[in-house]
Structure 1
Amino acid sequence: MYELLILLMLMRGPAHGYLIAKVINDMIGPYAALSHGRLYPLLAKLEQQGLIQVEQSGSGQQSDRQTRVYRITEAGRQRFHQLMMDTTSNLGEYREIFAHKVEGFEFLTPAERLHLIEHYINYCEAHIQHLYAKAEEILNKFANSPAPWPSERLENKLNTFYHRIEHWKLELRWVKRLRESALQSQARQEEAAAASGQGLAPQSD
């Protein structure tokens, strides 16, 4: 995920390491902070892979991190696009990853956005179906158990499942709104392309 976030930030322009850390930490929240001890080795790895390049600003020495400016390369742009379109890696963390991908939608075509959105709709629906099935399984186990469960235990279990279901339903409503917006954007793009094509068409005498 951090690789995606770094490349996303650099897609918008060069930045110093301390600014990269600040922006990423603002994005991921207070309990998953990206320390400098973790950031700079990752930046060095991306540089070795040719995804970013380092420049010096001011008169600082190479060892002075404050003077290093990081810039994305063409290979980095290609890698960023690959990470954005990847829907098979880190599925256990994909809810958070998708939210960050939405912040990078400006670099995708409407069709690419729709592809990611449709995948995430299916992802949300799969979670909802799974949780409903598990809640039903618990109710059946409770009803058929030879030894009665404490009512508080059953209530706590079901409350947890229903809370998670509501969470995924909220996520599903949000991504469906994204789909509406992406469809409208795609329609505008197609209309503009059609109008441009008509304007370039030769006129008959």
Structure 2
Amino acid sequence: MYELIVLSLLMSGSAHGYSIIKTMNDIAGPYTKFSHGRLYPLLVRLEEEGSIVTVDNATVEQTKGRPLHSYEITEKGRERFHELMMNITSNVGDYQKLFLHKVQAMEHLEPADRLILLEHYINFCQAHVLYMIAKVEEVLRLQVHGMSPSHNNALVKIMRHVADQWQLELEWANGLLEEERDDPQRLQLVYDHFNIRGGKLQYSCNMPDASLSVY
């Protein structure tokens, strides 16, 4: 997860370790903190693998008398970023948290890739909703062996609460998908890809009538 966060931040431009840590902490919330000791070994590994490079020392910034080395992503790093973004089989248990980081980095993906991730996450949320509903029905029907009625009632409340949370997550993901499909910029990218101009599909040839109206 941390590798993806670092690479996604560098996809927007060069950054030094201090700003990377600050951004990661802002995203993580008040109780999860990333330290220099946690980040810099990762930066060293990414640099050794050729995914990032250190900016020339002539441009090193100074803060409190210490040099702040800036980092830039390489072409190999961009490929690795895309690989991590499109990976939907790893870290399944933490995928809800991971998906939040993917959302903030989706601007660096092609529209078709964004749709793939959003549609997969919608299915992911639906699976959780259906699973929790089925478990609630199972507890109500069979009761948990050896548990008191009060414990079973508490268990049902928790399961319904979790199901409600996943339902909210599902509604949010559906909203993201609708925004993506309605995005005029995405439509323009499709037009540009097929070389559509003024409602006509322009062929790459010199024939004067080589155009086809698009309805």
Q: Same fold (TM over 0.5)?
A: yes
Aligned to 1:173: 171
Which structure 2 residue ranges, 5 or more long, are not aligned? 210-215
Aligned to 1:195: 197
Count of aligned pairs: 198
Q: Percent identity?
A: 42
User: Which has more helix, going by share of residues?
Assistant: 1
Deviates more, 1:181-190 or 1:38-47: 181-190
Per-residue deviation, 1:160: 0.5
Per-residue deviation, 1:195: 2.2
Asked if the contact 1:21/1:39 (under 8 Å) is kept, the reply is yes
Aligned to 2:37: 37
Against the structure 1 CA distance between its residues 10 and 58, is the aligned structure 2 distance closer, same or farther, given a 3 Å change threshold?
closer
Query: What letter corresponds to residue 83 of structure 1 in structure 2?
Result: L
Asked if the contact 1:51/1:74 (under 8 Å) is kept, the reply is yes
3-state SS of 1:30 partner? coil
Asked if the contact 1:17/1:66 (under 8 Å) is kept, the reply is no
Against the structure 1 CA distance between its residues 100 and 200, is the aligned structure 2 distance closer, same or farther, given a 3 Å change threshold?
same
Against the structure 1 CA distance between its residues 184 and 59, is the aligned structure 2 distance closer, same or farther, given a 3 Å change threshold?
closer
User: Which has more strand, going by share of residues?
Assistant: 2
TM-score, structure 1 normalization: 0.87
Against the structure 1 CA distance between its residues 194 and 135, is the aligned structure 2 distance closer, same or farther, given a 3 Å change threshold?
same
Per-residue deviation, 1:58: 4.1
Aligned to 1:162: 160
Asked if the contact 2:60/2:69 (under 8 Å) is kept, the reply is no
Asked if the contact 1:17/1:65 (under 8 Å) is kept, the reply is no
Which structure 1 residue ranges, 5 or more long, are not aligned? none
RMSD: 2.3
Asked if the contact 2:60/2:70 (under 8 Å) is kept, the reply is no
Deviates more, 1:23-32 or 1:191-200: 191-200
Per-residue deviation, 1:97: 0.8
Q: Which of the pair has the greater relative contact order for Cα pairs under 8 Å at 6+ separation? A: 1
Query: Separation in 2 of the partners of 1:187 and 1:59?
Result: 41
Segments of 4+ in structure 1 off by > 6 A? none
Matches within 5 A, 1:82-97: 82-97=83-98
3-state SS of 1:50 partner? coil
Aligned to 2:106: 105
Against the structure 1 CA distance between its residues 13 and 47, is the aligned structure 2 distance closer, same or farther, given a 3 Å change threshold?
same
Cα deviation code 1:125-179 (max 9, x no counterpart): 111111111111211222x96x7x5343122111110010010000111111111
TM-score, structure 2 normalization: 0.83
Aligned to 1:118: 119
Query: Separation in 1 of the partners of 2:102 and 2:61?
Result: 36
